[in-house]
Amino acid sequence: MEFTKIAGTELTVSRIGLGTWAIGGWMWGGSDESDSIAAICAAVDHDINLIDTAPVYGFGRSEEILGKALASHGLRNRVVIATKVGLDWRDRQPYRHASRRRIFAEVEASLKRIGTDYIDIYQLHWPDPFIPVEECAQAMLALLKQGKIRAIGVSNFTRLQMRDFRRVTRIHTVQPPYNLFERESEQDVLPYCLWHGITSLAYGPLCRGLLSGRMRSETAFSGDDQPKIDPKFQQPRYGQYLRAVAELDRFARENYGRRVIHLALRWVLDQPGVSVALWGARRPSQLDPLGQVMGWTLGHDAMQEIDRIVRKNVTNPIGPEYMAPPVRAEIAAA
């Protein structure tokens, strides 16, 4: 495992973190609690010490399962916990809500669900356009001074939003969506992190499983699976992305003796400005590919060829904009 420091703190984290959105079950077709706890323990056995969660993942369930795993296996002192704040929900519909009062209430709820007296990294999940960013930053700073959190993070923020936040307090981490098919963060977020010494935690390195190499044109999605609402999984785009995945898989096999799933994660880790990649797993077996991700890197020529493959096949790309939750006014009008 490779490790890195969280800028401005004493925290050292694995460069692969465990993402637990799927453990919550919501938008991932459900999850099994015993499998999820086993996955958390397996991640620690893989030397992963960063675990990322959020209240909205399963509407509290992900944090609760994490808390059970920590308590039953004595893991709290072996892991760095990152969770989030700023999303509320009604009838299983999340919406942005990041007032000072909400932040103070939500940290207490997360501490209780996880079963800990402090959170290592506390992240504002999405910017709330109805709340001045300065108010959010002041609330987070207050929690830091109280010792309830060890580091301040933001997620899904633009460069300008980070700039305004940093006028009040330091940002230790930022969490943008980033993978071979969603590269918008290269334009401003990742360069901003490099310039200002902010640790980046890239989420979605497999693009909702699209880069796993396991999806086919006939793959069926059911229930609340994300691909049902992700435009990448709708034809004709879906076919374009699958052709790119197939060619990337051939490239990985012929040049590295690996598969596209390993290539996709290594690519994220080798990008300038990326400190950590978050790998989602809700079963221990989903961590098996990690053994072939470490110990090698992608050189300049390989990066160029990967870019060429993606450009050639994906002629109508689209980003992760569909994931943005509504604001309170949109919920009220619904």
> pLDDT at residue 91 above 80?
no
10 Å Cβ neighbour count for 57? 27
The pTM is what?
0.91
Residues designated as active site: 57
**Residue 200 one-letter amino acid:** S
Q: CA-to-CA distance for 135 and 332, rounded, in angstroms?
A: 23
pLDDT on residue 320: 85
10 Å Cβ neighbour count for 64? 19
- Res. 29 pLDDT band, cuts 50 70 90: low
Q: Say if strands 87-90 and 173-175 run parallel, antiparallel, or are unpaired.
A: unpaired
- Res. 196 pLDDT band, cuts 50 70 90: very high
Q: CA-to-CA distance for 65 and 24, rounded, in angstroms?
A: 8
Q: What is the DSSP secondary structure assignment for residue 156, as one 8-state letter?
A: S
Domain boundaries, the chain: 3-333
pLDDT on residue 222: 65
- Res. 152 pLDDT band, cuts 50 70 90: very high
> pLDDT at residue 332 above 70?
no
pLDDT on residue 205: 94
Average of per-residue pLDDT values in the chain: 91
Q: Per-residue pLDDT tens for 315-325?
A: 988 888 887 77
Q: From 65, 52, 56, 46, select the one nearest 19 (Cα to Cα).
A: 52
- Res. 26 pLDDT band, cuts 50 70 90: low
> Where would I find the beta strands (DSSP E) of the chain?
3-5, 12-14, 16-19, 50-52, 80-85, 87-90, 93-96, 119-124, 149-155, 173-175, 199-202, 276-280
pLDDT on residue 94: 84
Q: What is the DSSP secondary structure assignment for residue 15, as one 8-state letter?
A: S
For residue 147, the number of C-alpha atoms closer than 13 Å in the C-beta half-sphere is 2
Comparing 14 with 33, the larger pLDDT belongs to 14
Please tell me the least confidently modeled range out of 109-113, 168-172, 223-227. 223-227
Distances (CA, A) of 181 to 48, 189, 265, 291: 25, 16, 12, 23
Q: What is the dihedral of CA 178, 182, 187, 191, to 10 degrees?
A: 10
> pLDDT at residue 303 above 50?
yes
> pLDDT at residue 106 above 60?
yes
pLDDT on residue 334: 46
Mean per-residue pLDDT for 188-201? 96
CATH 3.30.460.80 given to domain 3-333:
no
